[in-house]
Structure 1
């Protein structure tokens, strides 16, 4: 399975309210809405894809999804508002690792004490990721998407700073997590 499929498998084991940070056009959120009884909220800042998600929700008459405009670094919710917070195919597109750390801290703030974070990151140890993102940066220097990669340690440290620890780690694209292009993780607060 890819990033979305693995994250959806994990989400199906959760309940209550779920927020997807960086929902884009709804490629993850809308199929999940149809397959679960979760109360879902999608949040995104990018107009064209956000408008596409709104159109899809209307056309498909999906009642358990609401969409909100907002930024990952300043989520418009009270502390502990969600049981699960998901962020997939998004962290690698933020402008800096400091912004990613801020977004993870915000996701942790709005996640219930017994809740979980489900997110993915592009693995800097994967040679293809390093080459691909460097090539893209060299070829398209005007691109506003930095295409960030992270080490396992960096991601664990950012989660720890937000009060979370990794409970599950799933390799995507290769069976060995150390070299996989992407990793999907489920993190909870230590007990």
Structure 2
């Protein structure tokens, strides 16, 4: 992200989170369940590509994960806000990572690469993630799901309209579907081992009703069962990829 974009994230970090804690708790658990299913306890040295969700106790993933982590964010305000909960922090741009080749055993990238204005931003970021991974390195990537009609409609709106409607509290950008994601990852030097789909409640409804405990406890988990159906690839807010550099680990 450019310096102006970093400035936008500095401003966003200062905003109060308008989404209910119930929605945040449910989203966090969905991510933790996926990490447990696909990776278990991360081994070796891992990078998390942004720290925005680590600002909130209802969203933070790193306190629930084992392993050795370095957290990175483009925003100095976000980086400052997560101290001391995240002990090792770097400020940097995922398209120009400040790490040596092969520095990490794994990367967790949760909705970091779907904020660029142009597709080339995703291409650059994936190439950088491949560069810093060991040949056997693992990438768990989530992106806004372009196969979801609501995501496509939202992204068709001008950014000013998105912010004015409060559909999202931060800038959004181009993203990928499961099919285009597979292609982009292969071109970057990854082999995709798994594809998954996260958070199936309609976002505009779920984020407004999740303050009700019955909706959080009963309806959100029930709607997430759509992941096991043919509709799942269209209803999911996020598409997730588990992939390995140079094809390592596919047979595991």
TM-score > 0.5, shorter chain as reference: yes
2: CA distance between counterparts of 1:164 and 1:157?
10
| Ranges in structure 1 where 5+ consecutive residues have no aligned partner | 58-64
Q: Secondary structure at the match of 2:138?
A: strand
Q: Secondary structure at the match of 2:134?
A: strand
Q: Does 1:53 align with 2:82?
A: yes
2: CA distance between counterparts of 1:187 and 1:88?
14
2: CA distance between counterparts of 1:115 and 1:33?
22
Q: 1:118 to 1:53 in 2, by over 3 A?
A: same
Q: Which runs of 4+ in 1 moved over 6 A?
A: 141-144
1: CA distance between counterparts of 2:63 and 2:160?
39
2: CA distance between counterparts of 1:23 and 1:164?
24
Instruction: State the TM-score, normalizing by the size of structure 1.
Output: 0.82
1: CA distance between counterparts of 2:174 and 2:53?
21
1:42 is aligned to: 71
2:208 is aligned to: none
Deviations 1:44-64 (A, max 9, x none): 11122111012434xxxxxxx
Deviations 1:141-179 (A, max 9, x none): 899824323122321122112210110111112414421
Tell which structure's C-alpha radius of gyration is larger. 2
Contact 2:110–2:142 (8 Å) recurs in 1: yes
Q: CA deviation at 1:134?
A: 2.8
Q: 1:95 to 1:8 in 2, by over 3 A?
A: same
Q: CA deviation at 1:103?
A: 0.4
Alignment counterpart, residue 239 of structure 2, candidates 183, 187, 190? 183
2: CA distance between counterparts of 1:144 and 1:98?
20
Q: 1:35 to 1:140 in 2, by over 3 A?
A: closer
Alignment counterpart, residue 170 of structure 1, candidates 174, 186, 196? 196
Contact 2:178–2:195 (8 Å) recurs in 1: no
Instruction: State the TM-score, normalizing by the size of structure 2.
Output: 0.64
1:107 is aligned to: 129
Instruction: Say which structure is richer in helix.
Output: 2
Equivalenced residues, count: 183
Instruction: Say which structure is richer in strand.
Output: 1
1:32 is aligned to: 62
2:150 is aligned to: 128
